[in-house]
Amino acid sequence: MGRLRLRRPRGAAELIAAAVVVLAVLVLAARTVATAVGVLKAAWPALLALALVTGIVAVCRMMQAAAVRRRERERLATLWIMLTEFDAMDDRRFECALRDLLVRDGWPARRVGGGGDQAADVIGDHPQRGRIVSAAGSWCRPSTPVSAERWAHR
């Protein structure tokens, strides 16, 4: 389908017809504006009530959003774990801490540690980032020096 091309009116008849069309459009626009103003004058109490209700709903939603952000900050503050706390944890608490840290960072995660878990202790499934499987182990190097061969067989 071709593009519609406008051309200049040719002759006096086309010029008068174009002027009549422009005048009709202007009269129609003026009548539409006058009708709209009349309706708005008659309906101003309803419009005022609508504006007030909209304002109240907006304020309530902003307060709810602020409360959600505050609760989220408080929850994240409780999921801050110091390294000394990690060192003091047993295996089960360490796995739970890893799960909690994944949840804190937006990963739906679960602890699956136990027999038959194929060394997977924490599994996180994220809808966009995929799956993360953590094999958590708690171990430390001995404080007394030992030979490299003995440490490798440990």
Give the pLDDT confidence of 79-115 residue by residue, as tens digits.
777 888 878 888 888 888 888 888 888 888 888 866 6
- Give the other-Cβ count within 10 Å of 150's Cβ: 9
**Residue 100 CB coordination number (10 Å):** 16
Count Cα neighbours of 62 within 13 Å in the Cβ-side half-sphere: 6
Q: Across the chain, what does the average pLDDT equal?
A: 83
Q: What is the pLDDT of residues 18-56, one digit of tens each?
A: 899 999 999 999 999 999 999 989 988 998 999 999 999
Q: Is 150 helix (H, G, I), strand (E, B) or coil?
A: helix
Under 8 Å between Cβ of 97 and 79: no
pTM over 0.85: no
**Share above pLDDT 90 across residues of the chain, in percent, rounded to a whole number:** 31
Between 139 and 2, where is the model more confident? 2
CA-based nearest residue to 77, from 108, 104, 106: 104
